[in-house]
Structure 1
Amino acid sequence: MPCPGSCPRALLALALLAHFSRGSQAGGRRALPENSPPGAQGRTLLLLDVSAKSPVRVTSENFLSLQLDPSVIHDGWLDFLSSRRLVTLARGLAPAFLRFAGKRTDFLHFHNVKNPAKSRGGPGPDYYLKNYEDARSLDKLYNFADCSGLHLIFALNALCRNPNNSWDSSNALSLLKYSASKKYNISWELGNEPNNYRTLTGHAVNGSQLGKDYLQLKSLLQPIRTYARASLYGPNTGRPRKNVLALLEGFMKVAGRTVDAVTWQHYYLDGRVAKVTDFLRTRLLDTLSDQIRKIQKVVNTYAPGKKIWLEGIGATSAGGTNNLSDSYAAGFLWLNALGMLASQGIEVVMRHSFFDHGHNHLVDQNFNPLPDYWLSLLYKRLVGPKVLAVHVAGLQGKPRPGRVIRDKLRIYAHCTSHHNQHYARGSITLYIINLHRSRKKIKLVGTLRDKVVHQYLLQPEGTEGLHARAVQLNGQPLAMADDGTLPELKPRPLRAGRTLVIPPLSMSFYVVKNVHALACRYR
């Protein structure tokens, strides 16, 4: 099947790190209080350096990845995936994983075109009959991922259950055989948020049973030559509360060593009650760190060293919140999540969703990129997998990976993406979140002293402020040139030694050129 446009190798990038103490400033003096006059706040100066000899973490090249929710299926079809514009937008975020999964995963049946009656059915009267996966739509899904430079991860229906509550794999086997006949390179999962099954159908599946189901799926894959070595991920639990952690423990005991990465998902706010001021709360930003530690504790107890992925993250639950989770304000949560996850050793994070009918997406229903898309594109272009430690004057001792300090100014540092041909190996990328309503000043010292810096400053476009659904880069609006062309992301060069001035309520990237950082000179 031809692609809607050529399929060149896509750009690469990724990674992150570091927080620093509240208002630290030169000479170790205490910062001015938050109620100080705006002018005094603006004069606060921070001295910033990084450890450039070795990385503290290394993420996957596919660190920033994507999720596509099955809710986009309309009467069994995925025709919109043939859009040239959508392929262009997806290609801009490659390489990445594309996870096809969501709440309707477990109400999805593969439709055998040759024998449609054989593949219908579901877990009960609430089964979404129109949300089946037609073989032709599976072709479109795979072709979209392949042409975009994305690796498809497909979540199979886990709610097809036998009378003894074990998994009925017959429909999944039909899909596997069809995909193998097409030689589709796919990785696999089973189900989505199994902790919610009782709410969805009235029938729970505990962790031990889910682990046995995963072993069964592994046994299905092994005899199929195309998938004998295919990757398997799961169990994609929800927020790690007590019942979820119990489910995860049961799963890990049985199948923890079977999966290639252990997965969970996270949403910051209830989409039905979210307010724009919530997106600026530092305590909200830091809730993710506690979740990471809880997941890591369980995983490392049963499978030390096993990779951990955050599969499915969004600003708000319940499909998102119009003019909030799809606005400029949501970027603070998204960019901080990227930094926090990389710094605490999470290998991959998947954004829910690349495109859907809610308000958590990167691309809206008219195929227009939203603020978080442009933020993701900048991240892909500028940030590499190697995470570096950040040092700020006044901070006692060396920063620890995963350290969380509740502050409105957050700084992360990485080696610049080695796939970005504009920057020599050894360059360093900083990205900074300023939640203050005043500007902040940063002086680069030590390793970063007197180097030319390229600034990429992201701010809202128009008069809507934090609610804006369009953004500008260094003062210029970001928009696609045409359906097949993304805009050039032009930096603003800053002279060597110049103090960085971080505007209020902004997100920015700074590439420090020609640092010759040892950690960044080699892959």
Structure 2
Amino acid sequence: MPKNMGTKKPLAVTLLGVAAAAAPQVGVAQAAPVALAPAKMARIGSVSERYQSYNVEMLEVTGGRFWKPYKDIATLPSNTGGQTGPTTGDTPAGMSADLYQYRPPIDLSNKRLRRLAAALGPAYVRISGTWANTTYFADTDAPPKDPPPGYGGVLTRQQWLGAIAFSNAVDAPIVTSMPDGDGARGSDGVWKPDQARIWLDFTKAHGGKIAAAEYFNEPTLASMGGAPKDYDAAAYGRDHKIFEAFIRKEVPGIKILAPGSVGESTADWGVAHGGYGDMKVLTAADLAAHTRDAHAFSYHHYGAASRRCAAMGHQTSAEQALSEDWLGRTDQTLAYYRSVRDKYMPGKPFWNTETAEAACGGNPWAGTFLDTFRYLDQLGRLARQEVEVVMHNTLVASDYGLLNDQSFEPKPSYWAALLWRQLMGTTVLDAGVPIAQGQHVYAHCLRGVPGGVALLVINNDKARARTISVPTTSLRYTLSAPELQGSRVALNDELLALGPNDGLPQLGGTPTPAGELSFEPASITFLALAHADNPICR
């Protein structure tokens, strides 16, 4: 890998200023590098201290059948094409059992896992997912061998105590959802809070901290998630009213998030676009009409379905992973849900409670450096648009996890997450640079440094370098990789790896003088400007 990445290669294309053309220009003399003014960057928003958070699937806690590794799938697509009715008790309705493989319960006491999760704190851990909709909490010394009728899985006392202990150890209060399948309903089909009450009372009695909850996970395709067949928005509204009254009366400290929709966008690539087989979409608008009093508007974002779910359509490719179309899908999803929020839940902040490279466990490249661009660009975009919390799916499980699900070794996006946590504060600034190919620049107050500014500069162009002019000294943190679709990542040319006893390396920056800085193709750089002297950041 080249040394001195900021200066080695000649400038091919300049990074244009706000007044210049939106797209990069080649050979245009008047196109000068943009001159950033970090001292004058205006505040445009703020995010939660726990903005960067993550999911641990309920199925990971209980053990069960989750997405099968690609190497073990004989044929793609092997999906059923959307025929309703579960294939097995722990397979979502309409999905082929061939796409899933049993995994034992995750060891949430693992020292490496806890050390790496704690380094991302403070955060939230969302323990939910599709399988949470039909999970039965067994508040008995000896849990049942099989789930009761109407449920697909069993959560034991010891498993949930392990989740509580993990949450407390890594400074990540729990965000969750309620069981909503047939087992949680009366003979009239109406949701009953009995199971939720037992589970939440147990959590409180044993020191658990549940910060927020959705009624159930992804009601967009409700029957896929375990709701009764032909469940509609009116039934959702009836049940959400019961859920909301229960939470406000019996556990008033829990924030209510709603509606938790997924797969809708301003374009037809949305993974729920058109429904799935004979499952019809319950639109966010129809659901949010019943959730006006929730504390925040929650939604999920996936820019595509992974190869596992090829029968669903809505695919993408590794070749598109750095494109403006792909990265811009984050904005298109939020724009869709913003129109719904503004009509039915005006003024409520957004929580993105689940997002990753692609639905159905992620594509084969989701765990490589290639997806780190999406991961960080998404954090940068959403912080500027009233999104208080972003929960990556997942911390561990499947291709899109931040950690390897066998060894808990960090994947490239984990190292990026660690740098975000170290440098990017909660006050969001206007960097003054329009987004275009090769020029994604995001600015926050520098964490822990009064007056300081942190910049995230993403060059998503695989062929050309970019430059910006910075008026003060900085510490530079550049992430790059020998292979875009590789598992190794370097910080300032040094490969990152855990040390003895799983020690995290010191993520130090390279002192960099003021002036024009070059950013290599397909690279990600943080700049810490401790002497920016921005009055908003004091």
Q: TM-score range by the shorter chain?
A: 0.7 to 0.9
1:109 Cα deviation (Å)?
Answer: 1.0
- Contact kept? 1:209, 1:251, Cα under 8 Å: no
The residue aligned with 1:262 is 297
The residue aligned with 1:104 is 131
Which amino acid in 2 is paired with 1:48? Answer: L
Give the 3 Å change call, closer, same or farther, for CA 214–119 of structure 1 in structure 2.
farther
| 1:385 equivalenced with 2:426 (yes/no) | yes
The residue aligned with 1:190 is 215
The residue aligned with 2:71 is none
Q: Which structure 2 residue ranges, 5 or more long, are not aligned?
A: 1-12, 65-103, 266-272, 308-314
The residue aligned with 1:306 is 348
- Contact kept? 2:15, 2:468, Cα under 8 Å: no
| 1:348 equivalenced with 2:406 (yes/no) | no
Of the three residues 242, 258, 277, the one matched with 1:234 is 258
The residue aligned with 2:400 is 360
- Contact kept? 1:282, 1:408, Cα under 8 Å: no
| 1:217 equivalenced with 2:243 (yes/no) | yes
Percent of matched pairs sharing the same residue: 22
1:44 Cα deviation (Å)?
Answer: 6.4
Q: Secondary structure at the match of 2:253?
A: coil
Quick one: distance in 1 between partners of 2:411 and 2:357?
14
The residue aligned with 2:286 is 250
Aligned residues: 461
1:331 Cα deviation (Å)?
Answer: 1.0
Quick one: distance in 2 between partners of 1:520 and 1:209?
47
Deviation larger for 103-112 or 138-147: 103-112
Give the 3 Å change call, closer, same or farther, for CA 391–50 of structure 1 in structure 2.
farther
Of the three residues 313, 319, 323, the one matched with 1:277 is 319
1:494 Cα deviation (Å)?
Answer: 0.6
Written as runs of structure 1 = structure 2, the 5 A alignment for 1:8-23 is: none
Q: Which structure 1 residue ranges, 5 or more long, are not aligned?
A: 1-20, 393-398, 400-404, 419-423
Quick one: distance in 2 between partners of 1:137 and 1:339?
35
1:223 Cα deviation (Å)?
Answer: 4.8
1:385 Cα deviation (Å)?
Answer: 1.2
Give the 3 Å change call, closer, same or farther, for CA 101–200 of structure 1 in structure 2.
closer
Which amino acid in 2 is paired with 1:255? Answer: T
Of the three residues 333, 338, 351, the one matched with 1:296 is 338
1:229 Cα deviation (Å)?
Answer: 2.3
Quick one: distance in 2 between partners of 1:53 and 1:500?
19
1:78 Cα deviation (Å)?
Answer: 4.2
1:166 Cα deviation (Å)?
Answer: 1.7
- Contact kept? 2:220, 2:282, Cα under 8 Å: no
The residue aligned with 2:116 is 89
1:200 Cα deviation (Å)?
Answer: 4.9
1:31 Cα deviation (Å)?
Answer: 7.1
Which amino acid in 1 is paired with 2:467? Answer: K
Of the three residues 431, 451, 455, the one matched with 2:476 is 455
Provide the aligned C-alpha RMSD in A: 2.8
- Contact kept? 1:53, 1:518, Cα under 8 Å: no
Of structures 1 and 2, the one with the larger relative CO (CA 8 A, separation 6+) is: 1
Give the 3 Å change call, closer, same or farther, for CA 92–120 of structure 1 in structure 2.
same
Quick one: distance in 1 between partners of 2:58 and 2:22?
51
Give TM-score scaled by structure 2 length. 0.79
The residue aligned with 1:3 is none
Of the three residues 408, 413, 433, the one matched with 1:372 is 413
The residue aligned with 1:439 is 465
Give the 3 Å change call, closer, same or farther, for CA 114–220 of structure 1 in structure 2.
farther
Q: Secondary structure at the match of 1:179?
A: helix
Q: Secondary structure at the match of 1:457?
A: strand
- Contact kept? 2:14, 2:32, Cα under 8 Å: no
Quick one: distance in 1 between partners of 2:196 and 2:20?
61
Can you list the C-alpha shifts for 1:293-315, whole angstroms capped at 9, x where unaligned?
A: 22122112122211111111101
Written as runs of structure 1 = structure 2, the 5 A alignment for 1:40-79 is: 45-50=33-38, 52=40, 54-73=42-61, 75=63, 78=105
Give the 3 Å change call, closer, same or farther, for CA 482–156 of structure 1 in structure 2.
farther
| 1:147 equivalenced with 2:173 (yes/no) | no
